[in-house]
Structure 1
Amino acid sequence: MNARTLFLSPRATATGHALADSARRRAMRVEALHEWRVPDEWRAVEGASLYAGPLFADAVGAELGLGLLEAAPDWLARLPYELTGREIEFSTLAEARQLRRPAFVKPPNDKSFPARVYPDGSRLPGPDAVDDGTPVLVSDIVTFAVEYRLFLLDGEVRTGSRYLTDGDLDVAPLDGDPRRAEVLAFAEQLSSLDLPSAVVVDVGLLSEGLEWVVVEANAAWASGHYACDPDAALDVVLHAARPEGEFGPADRAFLRPLPEVVWD
């Protein structure tokens, strides 16, 4: 049997099932964790990997001995305008609450509050719900004609999927898509950006101006695969979520800070 073990969160998802099936075809062990803690027999198991949401990853990552790659929280805001097609500011939730205009506001690397257009800062969650210092990305409002998800490994697109057209769910593999060549041509620029070696990047075609831009970056170990090839997606997930000691200097700056969880 393959020495790797893929751990899944208690929340069953289509992507979790697809990655689990792919892992089993490789003779990997697959274990679903049914509680927000790691049973004693699985703590610091050799060769662990994980597919889960950020909150669950924070709960079990350290006990599994994992390193989890993700883009820097301010990555999107640091990109040049020609790659984003909109002004994006990296800020805090307290500062964003002072907005007096509509804006798209999201937490960069978790789901501490809904990512969406807010009419103004007063509609954001209050300090009783989410801490003032929570990092946020504040973006001008744009619309996309079509959006694609790309799983990248060492700057190369391993698999991709269309997922939205004119804001509506429209899932189809990148292979065979009429805009495949355009998507891959734009994605070549991503290899020169400050990203971890394994990551998911969403790209889109702006409705106004029809320019290709970056939508956002996501952690591979927490991203839905839509119509991506699950075997290729698993390659990226296994590289993005693996034993912490396996990461070299170039990737260590992209490791998610994992809290130590102490159980009574």
Structure 2
Amino acid sequence: MPSLICSSRYTIDSQILRKAAQQLGWETLRLDGKRIPDWFDPPDNDFAFFYTAPHVFDIGKQLNRKMLGCNPDWAVNLPQELLRRELRQTTLADALANIQDHFVKHAVSKAFPAAVYNQQSLADATSSIHPSSLVHIGEPVNWTHEYRCFVANRKVMTVSPYVYDGVIVTDYDSFPTVPDSEISTVRAFAESVLEHPNVDCPDAFVLDVGKIAGRGWAVVECNECWASGIYACDPAIVLQTLLCGNADSATMQSSTWDFAQHYSLACPGITE
């Protein structure tokens, strides 16, 4: 029987996932602190985490698990037919010296809001962030629709809109009604990304895709499945994806998708 381990952040997503896990008969644990309690006796070694970095790395280490996720430059190295826009990775220091009305986001974290910035507004937004931090710089585009896809073993497991007709979904009780034909289109495009011969990926992650006005369907970004909002995705299927989002430290054969290493590279100086 698997175990779901949640952080102390009492979010709607964590409540939904914990309820789904309990209905499936899973063990559930919501941590209040940084240590796995001595009394916790998991029934087996199948763990699903719903936790944010960097705290999750220490929790995983206590259970001999490594968290999986895409490397910082995964999105920027995608073939152009999957991006449909200019996108590159650089340091925050370089971005501060060279941007002018560009879209900028942190390469792996939510350290500052992803938005269109000029030099001054970016400096204001990132005043407390290390200049060697990795960021993505892109041309501003108009995303009309955006969808979250939970992926496991290169298969789209469950899908939900999170931006529709340019409006961000904020109320979990009033998701937009999306035609089945569009969901099929989203799945087909996401699967084309996962099947592309020049695209590699971890066993589980979140692939966000969307429609750019005047250009078509494209990859928005990648995220860690164990730290991403689920929106209207099927929580039971999300839980199955989370089981694939970590690996046994003793048997993990490659560090390619070791997200702790990627986070350390992209977020210098961040330990809490």
- Tell me the C-alpha RMSD between the 2 structures: 2.6
Partner of 1:9: 7
Q: Hey, what does 2:30 align to over in structure 1?
A: 32
The aligned counterpart of 1:187 is 190
Question: Does residue 199 of the first structure (1) align with residue 205 of the second (2)?
Answer: yes
2:185 alignment partner, SS class: helix
Q: Residues 177 and 42 from structure 1, CA distance in 2 versus in 1: closer, same or farther, beyond 3 angstroms?
A: same
In structure 1, how many angstroms separate the alpha carbons of the residues matched to 2:154 and 2:249?
21
Aligned equivalent of 2:21, options 2, 18, 23: 23
Pair 1:99-2:102 in alignment: no
- Per-residue CA distance 1:175-195 (angstroms, 9 max, x = gap): x54412211221122223211
Matched-pair contact (CA < 8 Å) for 1:160–1:173: no
Distance in 2 separating the partners of 1:189 and 1:135: 28
Structure 1 residue corresponding to 2:250, chosen from 245, 254, 258: 245
Percent identity between the aligned chains? 30
Aligned residues: 254
Quote the Cα distance in structure 2 between the aligned partners of 1:40 and 1:127.
40
CA offset at residue 172 of structure 1? 4.7
- Post-superposition Cα deviations, 1:33-68, rounded to whole Å, max 9, x if no partner, equal 112444344599944331012233244332232211
Counterpart for residue 66 of structure 1: 65
- Distance in 1, Cα, partners of 2:119 & 2:5: 40
Gaps of at least 5 residues in structure 2 are 170-174, 265-270
CA drift of 1:97 comes to 1.1
**TM-score (norm. length: structure 1):** 0.86
Distance 1:119 1:256 in 2: 30
- TM-superposition CA deviations, 1:46-92 (whole Å, max 9, x none): 44331012233244332232211111100111012221111111111
Partner of 2:268: none
Checking the alignment, whether the CA contact within 8 Å between 1:89 and 1:138 is kept in structure 2 is yes
Pairing of 1:37-116 with structure 2 (within 5 A): 37-42=35-40, 46-116=45-115
Which ranges of structure 1 fall in alignment gaps of 5 or more residues?
A: none
For normalisation by structure 2, the TM-score amounts to 0.83
Q: Report the equivalent of 2:229.
A: 224
